[in-house]
A = this chain, B = another copy of it.
Amino acid sequence: MLGPERRSHVLNKKEKEITAYHEAGHALIASVLKYADPVHKVSIISRGRAAGYTLKLPLEDRRMQSRLEFLDDIAVSLGGYLAEKMVFEDITTGASNDLQVLTALARDMVTRYGMSEKFGPMALDPAMGRTLFGAGIEPNEQSEEMAAKIDEEVKRIIDGAHKRAEEVLTKHRAVLDAIAKALVEIETIERDDFEKILIANGIVPKKKEDIEHQPLA
C-alpha cells in the first residue's frame, strides 16, 4: 500500500527495508484484529505506483460494512506508517495514500453512516444533503461550528485506531521483524508461508469458516 509518490523502478537497499516493514505492518495488524480481512499475499515488488502491497482476502462477498469493520480497516491502514516510525524513527512519503484512505473512511463514518457517538444517526456530508429534493445543498449551509466538531470526531476515530494499531505492533514486534525479514529475502510471501510465520510466532491465522460463524459484526 505504498503509494502515489513512487515511480516504478528497482528499489535500493534502504527502500527495500522500509517497504518491507511498511507492508509487514499492514499484514500483521490485518492478521490480529478480529474484523479485518485476513492476508492473502504480501509483497515488496512494486505494482503500478505502489512500492509494495498487501492483498487481503474478503471473507465473503459483502454488501454492508459495519462500524467495527471500519475501525479495524483504519487500524490496518495505519500499520505501514506506524511500522516505519517504530523501526526507523522516521516517516516517509510512502504512507500518503494510506493516510488519504483512512482519513476518508473516518470522515465517512462520521458524516455518512451515523457511526460517531457525538452525532449519532445524522447525515453531515454537505454533498449528500438534499439530493432527495432535487436542489443541491448550498456549501455554506453547514456551519463552521459543525465543521469543527466533525473534524474533531474524525481525529478522535483515527486516534483510537492509532492506539490499537500501536499496541498490536508493540506486542508482536518479533512477528513484524520476521515478516519484514522474509520480505527482504524473498520479496513476496504467499498465504500459506505467511500463516506459517504467524503460527511460528504464536498467532493463530483466521480461518474463513471461523469468521463466517462468528457473531455478526
Contacts and interface: CB of A to CB of B under 8 A. Distances in A.
Interface of A: 2, 5-7, 9, 11-12, 14-15, 17-18, 51, 60-68, 78, 81-82, 88, 90-96, 98-104, 107-108, 112-115, 119-124, 126-133, 135, 138-148, 150-151, 154-155, 158-159, 162, 212, 216-217
A140 B119 CA distance: 19
B90 A104 contact: no
Contacts of A131: 100
A14 B66 CA distance: 12
Given A114-B99, A144-B143, A151-B145, A81 B121 contact: yes
Contacts of A68: 90
B103 A122 contact: yes
5 contacts: A66-B88, A99-B122, A100-B123, A126-B138, A127-B135
